[in-house]
Amino acid sequence: MDNVDISVLRAAIDWRRDGHRVTLGTVVRTWGSAPRPVGAMVVIRDDGQIIGSVSGGCVEDDLVEKVMAGRIAHDRPELATYGVKTEDAQRWGLPCGGTLQLVFEPVTADSRLVELHDMIARHELAVRELDLATGQATLRSGNREDTLLFDGKVLRTVHGPRYRLLLIGAGQVSQYLASMAQSLGYQVTVCDPREEYAGGFDVAGVDFTREMPDDAVVAMNFDTHTACVALTHDPKLDDLALMEALKSPAFYVGALGSRANNDKRRRRLEEFDLSASEIARLHGPVGLYLGSKTPPEIAVSVLAEMTAVKNGVTVAQSHAAKAPAVDPGACALPSA
């Protein structure tokens, strides 16, 4: 769950606490080129204040008008569709004839948004089911295989950190990666057994462990919603994590360093019980080649590649084609 949707929940809770009538909207279906994905949320206050988005803005303008007039989801949840016809798509500013279907609900005590927000704050994965006939919601703990479902009567949404990220090393790049990854909905753990790094890492909301990296990977029990990035430049630490992560179902495993150092790393991994196909899963040099030279730029490059892989988008490996002999990402940190 990204930070935009968390902001929507917080606003809905605060506005209702202040005595406002509040309407929450959730995208449940899309057709064509929709601006926001299924599950995206928007909240609108009775005076027209709005947080979140479901389109480029035109749909929101119509929703604000309807909420202020009490003409949508005033007493109970209801379904609304925008952009079924080409002229409607043009009217609402939807691209390429895209269509959005949304469920709107009046926020009440039965919505259970406070409890939902508390679960998310504890880094729990939560499933919320809304009964459109009654407006009542139920909550339960979720798992990473749960997905949004809507059958016309009940809306099931999934909230919280659906993806996990393990970072090996507590240096500067890790700090930026951890912070940015949380904004993308990752539950982040940083592993660094080195005494000199343990005391200096301080990113709110991030779990920190001083276990050995291979033990940390095993303890997290990687699944297909997990990523791992090794960042220490120390083979004694990075390789321990990679040996376990590459054998796991993790959707992304990467290692920072130059092309030359990653070639050496692959040769080292061949000496252990890893198959050629497992070693081939390693993203190294990690990230998309963006000419990155600073820790925040490196973090952007890593998260860009992770996002592409997570979304099933094939990205050409540009390091070999465009990068100089030493990957610029590696120049910002000591080389192995």
CA distance 10 to 205: 17
pLDDT over threshold 60, residue 322 = no
pLDDT over threshold 60, residue 328 = no
Q: Please report the pLDDT score of residue 334 as a whole number.
A: 33
Q: Please report the pLDDT score of residue 336 as a whole number.
A: 32
Least reliable range by pLDDT among 89-98, 105-114, 115-124, 267-276: 89-98
CA distance 148 to 156: 5
CA 73 → CA 76, 104, 121, 220, distances in Å? 5, 6, 28, 42
pLDDT over threshold 60, residue 106 = yes
Q: Please report the pLDDT score of residue 89 as a whole number.
A: 57
Question: Between 3.20.20.140, 3.40.50.720, 3.40.1190.20, 3.30.230.10, what CATH number should domain 163-331 receive?
Answer: 3.40.50.720
pLDDT over threshold 90, residue 153 = yes
pLDDT over threshold 80, residue 102 = yes
Q: Please report the pLDDT score of residue 326 as a whole number.
A: 37
More confident residue, 330 or 201: 201
Over the chain, what is the mean pLDDT?
88
CA distance 284 to 229: 10
pLDDT category of residue 323 using cuts at 50, 70 and 90: very low
In a 13 Å sphere around the CA of 158, the CA atoms on its Cβ side amount to 14
Predicted confidence (pLDDT) per residue in 228-279, tens digit: 999 999 999 999 999 999 999 999 999 999 999 999 999 999 998 899 999 9
Residue 290 per-residue DSSP state: S
* DSSP for 242-268, written as a single string: HHHHTTS--SEEEE-S-HHHHHHHHHH
Sheet holding 252-255, edge to edge: 207-209, 186-191, 163-168, 226-230, 252-255, 282-283
CA distance 282 to 30: 34
Q: Please report the pLDDT score of residue 177 as a whole number.
A: 98
Q: What percent of the chain has pLDDT over 70?
A: 87
CA 262 → CA 85, 168, 294, 319, distances in Å? 52, 16, 20, 12
Q: Please report the pLDDT score of residue 56 as a whole number.
A: 66
Beta bridge partners of 51: 43
The whole-number average pLDDT for the span 68-97 is: 77
Phi, psi of 49 (to 5 degrees): -65, 140
The whole-number average pLDDT for the span 313-323 is: 59
Q: Please report the pLDDT score of residue 99 as a whole number.
A: 84
Residue 195 burial (C-beta neighbours within 10 Å; 0-12, 13-18, 19+): exposed
Q: Please report the pLDDT score of residue 332 as a whole number.
A: 39
Q: Would you list the domain boundaries of the chain? A: 3-159, 163-331
CA distance 244 to 269: 11
What value, to the nearest 5°, has the Cα angle with vertex 202 and ends 198 and 203? 130
CA distance 169 to 176: 12
Predicted confidence (pLDDT) per residue in 26-81, tens digit: 999 988 766 678 999 999 999 999 999 887 667 888 999 999 999 999 999 999 99
